[in-house]
Amino acid sequence: MACEDCNIHSPEDARQATVRRTDAIIDRIGRERRHIIPLLQALQDEFSYLPSEALERVYERTEIDRAQMISVATFYAQFRMIPYGRHTIKVCCGTACHVKGANTVYDAFKRELGIGDDTITTADREYSIEKIACLGCCALAPVVQIDNKIYGHVQPGRVDAVLEEFERDSAEQQKAAIERANRQPLGEVRFGMENCCQASGTAQIKEAVEQACRELGIDVDIKPVSCVGACNQVPLIDVAMPDGSITRYPNIRPDQVKEILLHHFRPASALRRLRNALLNQVDNFHTDQTWDNILYLSEKQRTQSINTFLDGQKRISTEGYGLMNPLDIDEYIRRGGFDALKKVLKTDRSEVINEVLASGIRGRGGGGFPSGRKWSLVAGQPDTVRYVICNGDEGDPGAFMDRILLESYPLRVIEGLVIAAYAVGAQNGILYIRAEYPQAVIRVRRALEMCRQKGLIGENVLGSGFSIGISLFEGAGAFVCGEETALIASIEGKRGFPHLRPPYPAEKGLFGHPTLINNVETLSQIPFIIRNGARAYASVGTEGSKGTKVFALAGKVRHGGLIEVPMGTTLRDIVEKIGGGVEKGEQLKAVQTGGPSGGCIPASLCDTPVDFDALNRMGAIMGSGGLVVLSESDCMVDVARYFLNFISGESCGKCTFCRVGARRMLDLLDKITAGKAEMADIDRLEELALSVKKAALCGLGKTAPNPVLSTLQHFRHEYEEHVNGICRTGSCKQMVKLTVTDDCIGCTKCARCCPADAIPFEPYKIHTIDTEKCTLCGLCIDECDFNAIKYENKRKQPAV
Amino acid sequence: MRISVNNQPFEVSGNKTLIEELRAAGIEVPSLCYAGGHEHHASCMVCMVKDVRTGQMLPSCSTMPRDGMEIETDSPEVKELRRMSIELLLSDHRADCEAPCTLVCPKGIDAAQVIWYYDNGMKAEAKALLDGRDCRDCARTPCMKACRRGTVDNSVDIKGIIDNLAADDSIPTANAVSMADTGKETFNSRIGRFTDMEKSLMRQQYTQHSHCLHCACNGRDKCRLRRLSTEAGIKATRYGVSSELPFKQETQVKGRLWFDPAKCIRCGLCVYNTTDGFTFRYRGYRMQVIIPDESRDNVTEEIVQLCPTGALYISKEK
């Protein structure tokens, strides 16, 4: 764009250039009303925001009018009307990030960059900052994304280092790929290259491996593979030898790479070997970084936590984890991929549906409706124009199952979708993926291309006479679009307003035609059912919930990540055995399941085997599968407030109970977490929550009170404590202050780090904190080596 | 098709919505966002009925009856939820149905309307509305104590204006109407407190004649929200009033049609029933209905009939 713009002098020229660029986009995308979201996405890609000249041009040249434009562009979070800075910092405010201090990270970036309270962009227009619902990298919380680069475990005191690293990286740009001609690989080095692996610095490790290979003359295949699921142990590499042995190295650093490679492979020439030996000697001499080199740890020590993490899991959706390259279609086929599709193409449609019915699989999107029944409903409609939609609009903060399935197993999801399309007799399929998952969008798009080339989608699939066109639709940032009727509205180019069911999408869905909507995970289980039979699938799981469930395990757990376990596994097993227990040795307090529509299950109920019905009984829901572990240092009222805050921002606004009711619940929770409430407010909150649950229009609204109701049910005493002016965990900032204990030795570390100058610089004296100036960011707590700074309740005077 | 309503068998045709069937049979169902014969999408939830079998609350305006359905329209549960939906709407509704000066006048003078006539140069009508009454023997002037302008800077000199009108014998007689309903049972919405920002805005905006803010709602005579609130016996909402709606930002849509967003309940009837006219902006609690300047011509005055509140009204100005 710069080339075209750099010679522009007059505003009129600039306007004309905008019009030209807009025209090109309109010609590429289309002019119908339903094209509005892709059109706006393309315009924003081009201009970084939606300039008014471009929008005026859209009114002139398309069916889209002003009313539709305002209505749609302001509904979806993705679109912005003001230009942003050159780089955008997105601070993830998902549940896991929230409990790990995302707000403090956001404040720290604003402080570091000197961005004022009422703006989001730096004065030099270099950076803009925004909070976003969830990046889906919950195992690495708190997470920040700068442009397309993701940073995990961001500490509020270290945001300067993150910015520095980002600037260094963008300056270096991409390096040329290494020479690969005429070679015989000695083995394979495998990486996970999903968002979370990248966030943890796998890209640097990959670079280090490439560089080391060049230097050492070691010729190995460097292969990105699907997520291992051990997202907490990244960066992680697997070294695979020709003999089939695999050695796994978790948590490695770039400087350890060379050593690992030398351990497995012989460098090309004796000379190089010698040179390396010498250089390494020097390296080791000058730095002491290799003293704890992981090579010296035994195999058991090295991978124990990962192996316990992986034990107890069962792979259906994530079959081939850590082995397969997500985008190697030949490998997928070699491993039995598309066998299920081939099988169904030779089978009668009704038999396919019967097989799915017999498997007992229930929809993984939240409600748990039997998938087979949904399929047969669609297949039984008189209208023969039918659609299938894969719902990948995973908006729940604290969930990242769909993202990893789409990034790691795009071909399996596509296969499931094609099978579904065949079974219900649909001619068109749409993969609906949220725009916050750029990696997933890229991979699925490429996977679709490959499938097209192989004749697996498109006209006359594998010569069977069955045709299916599949396209990809990027969701534009609205949690409510996970609700199927709202999702359909957004594909049709409308606001994501849900409508009343019936009619169900199965009867009247997209553009008024019968539509099957299945969640990503549901579809990814279909190939297994077809290939191995309904009985094999039904043998896993519980009476009412068959198969496995993929969970995103995050929060205060030692080893978070993506897991797949048989239905009926207990939450305690998941947290203790797979997750390795609560981090920092704290006590488990509760597990939050199902995101904003779910609830908090107290530790005392964590021995219940988890399936759809058991969770419902406990006041939570399965939801899409986010599991956020909460420890004794988490405040349950704050967690409830967090979700209500999320919901009132994501409510579509259509019906009274969700639009106003959720907000009034939030008002009451604000009052409670500020320590200004009375006991009657708790009853008022409960009454309102129960009413919203009964009377809201759609599933989002009806489940919105769940976080409140479940915490009221299991942790009512905490609400009462707040009314009495006590927040035990210090999470409710308005109720606490920071104080210094006698353990302080006056080292001044806190005084130096305090961004608000609230701690006077007084060496060798017990420090003091000026509560007027203090912003409660908690940086000093992290800095203090003597554990001498603590939150303390500003106890209210006892009520008269 | 046969369903049951309040435990009584009920015959329905099967091609009309529940609200239509129920109303046709004389069963009262309140509603705000429903307008027969016009496009509507369940929003207010005031028309809800209970599906006894599933326990679900259904908006009767958008629900088609299904064979064997069992509906409850008048149970305490249904009534309480309807009442709650109205209260929730009222908590996000910045309006004074009646101006406080009119409400408190011990002589029953519609002071707000008198001042309105006065400000619009209609002294004859103003005097006619006094109907021989004046404020000379009223020392307490509760109207001026209640005056909203008083919270901004100084109250309107209601007593002075009325007494001058009363004393001026040169004013001819004319016909005048008052919309005021000051009955004890009638619901009165309250604006709530002004923010400092709003106060300074109003100081700049209302500088003419009496300085009156004209807080009485211009569409109250047709306001269904007020009527339903009265019927439900609501005195005040249990959630207070806090709103992000732009206050006192009335705009002239076209001709005599005016729009006051502070009173809008976001039902969308005006959005769905104009083409490229009214539109929604933002989502959730922040959602508003707006009319873009460029789209004003796409709207006709008739749309006022669909608005269930005083958000759209026909101005009385000459």
A513 shares its domain with A617: no
Lowest mean pLDDT among A187-201, A675-689, B184-198, B269-283: A187-201
Instruction: Tell me, yes or no, whether A386 lies in a domain.
Output: yes
Instruction: Tell me, yes or no, whether A553 lies in a domain.
Output: yes
A50 shares its domain with A147: no
Res A180: pLDDT: 42
Locate A64 and state its tokens.
């889209």
Lowest mean pLDDT among A49-53, A435-439, B88-92: A435-439
- What is the distance between the alpha carbons of residues A70 and A83, in angstroms, rounded to a whole number? 17
Using a CB-CB cut-off of 8 Å, the residues of chain B touching A71 are: 271, 279-281
DSSP element (H, E) containing B20? helix B18-24
Instruction: Rounding to the nearest 10 degrees, give the CA dihedral for residues A779, A785, A788, A794.
Output: 20
CATH 3.10.20.740 is the classification of domain B2-74: yes
Question: Any idea what the Cα angle at residue B49 is, between residues B46 and B50, rounded to 5°?
Answer: 135
Q: For residue B120, what is the DSSP state?
A: T
Can you give the CATH number for the domain in which A592 is found?
Answer: 3.10.20.600
A156 shares its domain with A53: no
Strand partners of residue B56: B51
Instruction: Tell me, yes or no, whether A539 lies in a domain.
Output: no
A 666-685 residues with CB below 8 A of B? 667, 684
Res A264: pLDDT: 78
Lowest mean pLDDT among A145-159, B131-145, B263-277: A145-159
CB–CB contact A656 B282 (8 Å)? no
A528 shares its domain with A556: no
A344 shares its domain with A474: yes
A351 shares its domain with A389: yes
Can you give the CATH number for the domain in which A420 is found?
Answer: 3.40.50.11540
Question: Structural domain tally of chain A?
Answer: 6
Strand bridging mode A246-249 / A237-240? antiparallel
Locate A329 and state its tokens.
């279609």
The answer to whether A585 touches A257, Cβ cutoff 8 Å, is no
Which of B69, B88, B93, B294 is the best substitution to test chain A (most A C-beta atoms within 10 A)?
B88
A525 shares its domain with A567: no
Residue A123 CA, chain-centre distance (Å), reads: 31
The answer to whether A179 touches A217, Cβ cutoff 8 Å, is no
A582 shares its domain with A713: yes
Can you give the CATH number for the domain in which A269 is found?
Answer: 3.40.30.10
Res A213: pLDDT: 79
Using a CB-CB cut-off of 8 Å, the residues of chain B touching A660 are: 88-89, 91-92, 285
Strand bridging mode A588-593 / A548-555? unpaired
A 693-722 residues with CB below 8 A of B? 694-697
- E-strand ranges in chain B read 2-5, 8-11, 48-51, 56-59, 70-72, 251-254, 257-259, 279-281, 288-290, 312-314
Q: Kindly report, residue by residue over A458-482, the tens digit of the pLDDT.
A: 999 999 999 999 999 999 999 999 9
> Given A73, A105, A134, which residue is the final one in a domain?
A73
Question: What percent of chain A lies above the pLDDT cut of 70?
Answer: 89
The residue extents of the domains of chain B are 2-74, 96-216
Instruction: Tell me, yes or no, whether A311 lies in a domain.
Output: no
Residue A5 predicted with pLDDT over 60: no
Residue B67 predicted with pLDDT over 80: yes
For residue A581, the enclosing domain spans: 548-723
A647 shares its domain with A759: no
A342 shares its domain with A378: yes
Mean pLDDT of A521-534: 96
- What is the distance between the alpha carbons of residues A18 and B110, in angstroms, rounded to a whole number? 57
DSSP element (H, E) containing A700? helix A699-703
- What is the distance between the alpha carbons of residues A534 and A528, in angstroms, rounded to a whole number? 9
B 9-38 residues with CB below 8 A of A? none
Nearest CA in chain B to A690: B81
Using a CB-CB cut-off of 8 Å, the residues of chain A touching B59 are: 500, 697
* Nearest beta carbon to residue A66 from set B43, B271, B292: B292
Q: What are phi and psi of A145, to 5 degrees?
A: -115, 125
Q: Kindly report, residue by residue over A251-270, the tens digit of the pLDDT.
A: 888 888 887 877 777 766 66
* Nearest beta carbon to residue B88 from set A648, A661, A697: A661
How confident is the prediction for chain B on average, in pLDDT? 93
Q: How far is B141 from chain A (nearest CA, A)?
A: 37
CA distances from A110 to A114, A130, A161, A758 (A): 6, 10, 14, 18
Question: What percent of chain B lies above the pLDDT cut of 90?
Answer: 82
Q: Kindly report, residue by residue over A52-79, the tens digit of the pLDDT.
A: 999 999 999 999 999 999 999 999 999 9
A221 shares its domain with A110: no
Locate B185 and state its tokens.
């049972």
Question: Any idea what the Cα angle at residue B186 is, between residues B181 and B188, rounded to 5°?
Answer: 85
Nearest CA in chain A to B269: A654
* CA dihedral sign of residues A511, A512, A514, A518: positive
Between residues A581 and A183, the one the model is more confident about: A581
A751 shares its domain with A777: yes
DSSP assignment string, B241-280: ----SPTT--EEEETTEEE-GGG-----HHHHTSSSSSEE
How confident is the prediction for chain A on average, in pLDDT? 86
A 72-101 residues with CB below 8 A of B? 74-75
- What is the distance between the alpha carbons of residues A26 and B69, in angstroms, rounded to a whole number? 49
